[in-house]
Homo-oligomer: A and B are copies of this chain.
Amino acid sequence: MRVLLAEDDDRIAADVATALSSAGYAVERVSSGKEAWFRGDTEDFDAVVLDLGLPEMDGLAVLNRWRGNDRRMPVLVLTARGSWIERVEGMDAGADDYLPKPFRMEELMARLRALIRRSAGMASPVLVNGELVLDTRQMKVTVAGVPIGLSAQEYRLLSYLMHHAGRVISQTELADHLYGQDAERDSNAIEVLIGRVRRKLGVDLIETRRGFGYLVPESS
């Protein structure tokens, strides 16, 4: 699941990005309206989180252009607290949902899930990959039916890999999603984490592509 995050406030953007990635979404962040418009117009996203107060081009204008150009991906708009006028305008422009700032991260996640579910149709909350099963509701992992106790970081890492099963994920991508872009480049934290997860799950469930990254193979 790819999500486009258009938000110029670094603090908020970082928080949202972290939450999204640890929920297993692949996040692409942009911080200007023009960039948002361009990316959203030329790439496919499963959803967009769009702040209205963007530099260079107003969020509403971006949205209008997308819709005018037949881009129908679900868009969740962030608005300033209490600005109902913006909401109404946004609704007319074709937004699918709204969230006033400040918001609770959980609510954003819930609404985004709802949007994606509505548009894509029933993404199961349980990821299955061969013997490996990850229940996102219970945050529980089993291998061949045997429950595995994972720590928070371990769970996030595995969740991300499983949400992108069959794709090679680089160490930097993992680090970005686990720690944010301020991750230290010189650290083997990811390697250690991979090791710990492997020890608990079984060594073969996560493969290494030396020089590129890791992946959990599809229907292993």
**A positions within 8 Å CB-CB of B:** 34, 38, 41-44, 82, 84, 87, 98-100, 103-104, 106-107, 110, 137-139, 151-153, 155, 166-168, 170, 172-173, 176, 181, 209-212, 215, 217-218
Contacts and interface: CB of A to CB of B under 8 A. Distances in A.
Contacts of A172: 104, 106
Contact of A104 (B34, B107, B176, B211): B176
Contacts of A100: 38, 42
Query: Which 7 A-B pairs give the minimum distances between C-beta atoms?
Result: A152-B211, A139-B168, A137-B167, A139-B209, A34-B84, A139-B212, A42-B100
A87 B138 contact: no
Given A104-B176, A210-B152, A137 B168 contact: yes
A42 B98 contact: yes
B173 A99 contact: no
A103 B176 CA distance: 12
B151 A138 contact: no
B168 A138 contact: yes
Nearest to A56: B84
A149 to B, nearest CB: 10
A220 to B, nearest CB: 11
A42 B210 contact: no
Given A104-B172, A107-B43, A139-B209, A38 B87 contact: yes
A155 B213 CA distance: 13
